[in-house]
């Protein structure tokens, strides 16, 4: 690895030639310098302390929502993902979820419902990537009441991949597009600054920003949480949930001195893995539902020369993901939740699982399409009350990795999972709306031809299908 020469000017020139704003170039420089310096990003257990207690949603929800605060607020949905891990080549937010409506359709209805209910022109933005922009803007045309689609878009930046052998910009003449990659959702902050959106929103009277993922339909703007956040005078608020055994490998909230921070699994030294996974010690995880005061964001950016100094996430790949023999590269990413460490006085609040229903896999998609989740009058998708805040544990094998495979299995309808504690499926099967699963159910098809699950109620049982 050649690190004897400063190659950053080559990256800066390439990024400016591609039309990227200075804010994006400075943010990339921060990550690149960390890579060259050999920063590991590791956070040892000895350097942090667990978070013992936090305020809860039930405590904060006693503060009444105020329409005047909604006029000062922006709702922003992260919509940069194509869902490639689920076999998609289009935005994940355009997947049908309930009654033919997509994630984006339900988000649009959430915003319009809030506007009608409170009689305010609540601001709404989507952070699209260059991969999701065109299809998303076309889909937004179905909701003209939201506004002109292009006026609702914040465009995510793109950054160069780094050749690991030379620490120079990766070159791939066979497909120059593969020389670039997304920078992770930590790009929210340089994108807001570099696009001019931050200045325009503040000039227009916006004071508060609520951010969540487009694939999390439980995370709509809650006026009571907004009122509590505004009254708290905190610059940054993270919604967290209590960790369960299913969450023990995911990142957690911690303290370093008086400051809250996030520690992801990649930041945990191997020797501290047991402490990392101890959910009685580290009790809370980040939902990626964040509240930010825009004046505080502008001040942090000013103090750090136009960047938020987020920890580096080094994602190692080959320049062509489909060619393992192509040069090895680093994709330098950041996560927006890590910004909690950059805002003095940042806070967190424990919210119910009803505000956390992300779809990352086809198993997640099956769950939210089923009656384990209910569509509320304000267009949120949340766990059915019968679930007592516990989603069903779904273990689907490789026959259901891709959306097309799941859709084929659901061609005759979605099974009932409202009373299902766990469902394990091995082998190709066909579900139907006549299937009701309760308790712990295991289904096995030892063959290669898809077989139908018998109709009826299946409770705490194992089904071995035979042709």
Residues with a catalytic annotation lie at 360
Measure the CA–CA gap between 293 and 454, rounded to whole angstroms: 54
Return the sign of the alpha-carbon dihedral for residues 336, 185, 103, 110.
Answer: positive
Residues in contact with 434: Cβ distance below 8 Å, sequence separation at least 6, in sequence order = 413, 455, 456
Backbone angles phi, psi at 410, to 5 degrees: -105, 15
DSSP one-letter string for 337-360: GGGGGGSTT-EEEE--GGG-----
- Whether 445 and 423 have beta carbons less than 8 Å apart is answered as no
Residue 78: both structure tokens together: 């992260």
- Whether 155 and 191 have beta carbons less than 8 Å apart is answered as yes
Pick the closest to residue 339 from 189, 183, 182 (CA basis).
189
Strands (E), 9-118: 73-79, 96-98, 101-102
**Angle between the N-to-C axes of helices 133-140 and 103-118, in degrees from 0 to 180, rounded to the nearest 10:** 50
Measure the CA–CA gap between 74 and 122, rounded to whole angstroms: 7
Residue 118: both structure tokens together: 């409170």
Backbone angles phi, psi at 62, to 5 degrees: -75, -15
User: What SS3 state is found at 220?
Assistant: coil
**Cα angle for residues 81, 132, 159 (degrees, 5° grid):** 75
- Whether 361 and 391 have beta carbons less than 8 Å apart is answered as no
Measure the CA–CA gap between 149 and 143, rounded to whole angstroms: 9
Give the DSSP H or E segment for 291.
Answer: strand 284-293
């Amino acid at each position: 690895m050649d690190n004897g020469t400063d190659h950053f000017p080559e990256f800066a020139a390439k990024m400016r030639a591609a039309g990227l704003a200075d804010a994006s170039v400075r943010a990339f420089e921060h990550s690149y310098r960390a890579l060259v310096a050999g920063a590991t990003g590791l956070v040892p257990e000895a350097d942090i302390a667990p978070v013992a207690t936090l305020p809860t949603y039930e405590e904060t929800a006693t503060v009444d929502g105020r329409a005047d605060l909604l006029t000062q607020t922006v709702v922003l949905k992260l919509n940069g993902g194509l869902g490639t891990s689920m076999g998609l080549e289009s935005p994940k937010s355009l997947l049908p979820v309930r009654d033919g409506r997509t994630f984006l359709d339900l988000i649009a209805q959430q915003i319009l419902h809030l506007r009608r209910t409170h009689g305010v022109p609540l601001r709404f933005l989507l952070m699209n990537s260059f991969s999701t922009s065109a299809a998303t803007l076309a889909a937004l045309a179905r909701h003209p009441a939201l506004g002109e689609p292009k006026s609702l878009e914040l465009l995510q930046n793109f950054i160069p991949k780094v050749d690991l052998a030379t620490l120079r910009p990766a070159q791939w003449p066979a497909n120059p597009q593969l020389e670039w990659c997304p920078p992770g959702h930590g790009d929210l902050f340089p994108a807001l600054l570099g696009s001019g959106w931050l200045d325009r929103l503040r000039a227009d009277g916006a004071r508060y920003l609520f951010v969540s993922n487009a694939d999390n339909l439980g995370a709509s703007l809650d006026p009571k949480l907004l009122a509590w956040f505004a009254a708290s005078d905190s610059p940054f608020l993270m919604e967290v949930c209590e960790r369960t055994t299913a969450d023990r490998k995911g990142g957690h909230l911690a303290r370093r001195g008086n400051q809250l921070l996030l520690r992801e699994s990649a930041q945990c030294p191997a020797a501290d893995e047991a402490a990392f996974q101890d959910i009685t010690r580290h009790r809370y995880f980040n939902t990626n539902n964040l509240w930010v005061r825009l004046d505080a964001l502008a001040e942090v950016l000013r103090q750090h020369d136009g960047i938020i100094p987020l920890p580096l996430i080094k994602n190692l790949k080959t320049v062509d993901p489909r060619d393992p023999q192509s040069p090895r590269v680093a994709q330098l990413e950041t996560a927006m939740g890590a910004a909690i460490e950059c805002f003095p006085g940042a806070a967190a609040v424990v919210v119910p699982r009803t505000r956390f229903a992300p779809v990352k896999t086809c198993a997640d998609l099956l769950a939210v399409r089923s009656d384990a989740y209910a569509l509320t009058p304000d267009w949120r998708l949340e766990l059915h009350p019968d679930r007592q805040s516990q989603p069903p544990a779904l273990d689907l094998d490789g026959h259901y990795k891709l959306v097309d495979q799941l859709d084929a299995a659901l061609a005759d309808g979605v099974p009932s999972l409202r009373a299902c504690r766990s469902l394990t499926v091995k082998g190709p099967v066909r579900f139907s709306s006549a299937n009701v699963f309760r308790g712990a159910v295991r289904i096995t098809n030892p063959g290669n031809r898809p077989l139908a699950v018998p109709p009826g109620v299946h409770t705490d049982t194992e089904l071995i299908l035979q042709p």
